[in-house]
Chains A and B, each alone.
Chain A
Amino acid sequence: MPLVYAGVCSHAPGIRGRKDLADPEVRDAFYGAFDGMRADLEASGAEAVIVIAAEHFANFFMNNMPSFAIGMADFYDGPIEDPGWLGIERFRATGDRDLSERVITEVMNTVDIAYAEEWLFDHGIAVPLSFLTPRFDLPVIPVNINCQGPPLTPLHRAWAFGEALRRAVDAVPEKVAIIGTGGISHWPATPDSGKINWEWDQDFMVKWCDNDRDALLDYDDLQVYADAGQGGFEIRTFLAVSAAAGGAQGTVHFMEPIPIFAVSCTIASYDLSTSDPAD
């Protein structure tokens, strides 16, 4: 079936782990926006969700670092972090090995990827799922793009990968959603944690909503690092969703800097009725 939902959200570990240290008003508004995203996801009728995350050396390390990886299992355990630290209890998330295999097989026609029959979710996937499928019962297909260990996945390859995912999703009979997680500007787990480049974030999300391929592919990693920190490398997940959305126009549902969560907390989605992937 044609893709039923495409959106992006933040995934910082502090969103759950440091929730008591945040300003309750803005935190609750952000949590409310996550509830809205869950409602939209449910209303889409999605029977499975592809979560494109930038993981953080939980499964993939520089001994064997893929540009792209897709999970292919019937279940995934998490979180790999200490549950007390992350604020998420241990869970076993439902997967769908068969659907994963069909998606992977189609993607491989155009993009060389790694697949993984084992995957421990870190906060990149666990935090969003804890809001969007709190019982971890909607079959999930985890996806990783290397945003951590340079040399990083080139932006234009992240775009090609998003297009390949769209072709794969459209080709299967199931209704599938795609959600990208990460970014935007942040300096996670460094002495600069809590800094946010609000202007940069706003500018990026304008381009994201416009689905402006040229502008999105024009980012340069050294400049991104200077302006938006190492966390800014995670725009790859957002770009893959843009590509998958096939020219659709987006809306930001929530965006506020929450320094103790270390990011501009963001929820946004594309209106797929404006999508034309063949374009």
Chain B
Amino acid sequence: MSLYYVQKFLFELNRSPQLQEAYTADRRAVLEPYALSDEEAEALTAPDIGKLYVLGVNGQILMHFAAFHQIEWQDYLQRMRDGIDDHGPVRAGVYAITGYEGTRAHSESLGQDRGVE
């Protein structure tokens, strides 16, 4: 697990037009300097938004990566929900502190019966 380096790469990508260009040219090559597992590198190159969410990437970083890939807002939210369905609960990071298991369970924990907008 190297969530720190997954997020570090995304943090730097979000800030740097040069890195964005390099990523567009060769998604694999730009990941070389970061200590990533194969699973993490695959999620970053695909890109697999749902998997990145499950790995624990903070939404404040992930939403910009989605926007960079022209993924619309509602689609971005849905991909994270699908990620939970496909890969199980968030594994690390701030969203894992209460054992996150999806939007429905979360609504129930808040005593809210309506779904998300």
Contact = CB atoms under 8 A, between A and B. Distances in A.
Contacts of B73: 18
B91 to A, nearest CB: 15
A46 to B, nearest CB: 29
Contact of B117 (A148, A226, A227, A259): A259
A193 interface: yes
Given A61-B8, A80-B15, A193-B77, A188 B94 contact: no
A109 interface: no
B15 A58 contact: yes
A190 B98 contact: no
B81 A62 contact: no
A57 B11 contact: yes
A231 to B, nearest CB: 10
A175 interface: no
B116 A192 contact: yes
B55 to A, nearest CB: 14
B44 interface: no
**Residue of A63, A85, A191, A230 contacting most chain B CB atoms (<10 Å):** A191
A256 to B, nearest CB: 14
B7 interface: yes
Contacts, number: 79
A235 to B, nearest CB: 15
A191 B116 contact: yes
Given A62-B4, A63-B8, A194 B117 contact: yes
Interface residues of A, number: 30
Nearest to B110: A197
* Consensus secondary structure, chain A interface: loop
B59 A190 contact: yes
A120 B16 CA distance: 12
A189 B53 CA distance: 10
A56 B60 contact: yes
Contacts of B81: 191
B84 interface: yes
A208 B63 CA distance: 30
Contact of B116 (A62, A80, A195, A222): A195
Nearest to A198: B112
A81 interface: yes
A81 B77 CA distance: 18
Nearest to B84: A191
A169 B38 CA distance: 51
Contacts of B62: 189
B64 interface: yes
A82 interface: yes
A201 B21 CA distance: 42
Contacts of B37: none
Given A56-B60, A148-B60, A222-B97, A191 B110 contact: no
A260 interface: yes
Interface string B80-93: 11001000000000
A150 B94 contact: yes
A85 B67 CA distance: 7
B16 to A, nearest CB: 11
A57 B94 CA distance: 14
B2 interface: no
Given A62-B7, A80-B14, A120-B15, 8 more contacts: A190-B95, A191-B77, A192-B107, A193-B59, A193-B77, A195-B116, A226-B109, A230-B59
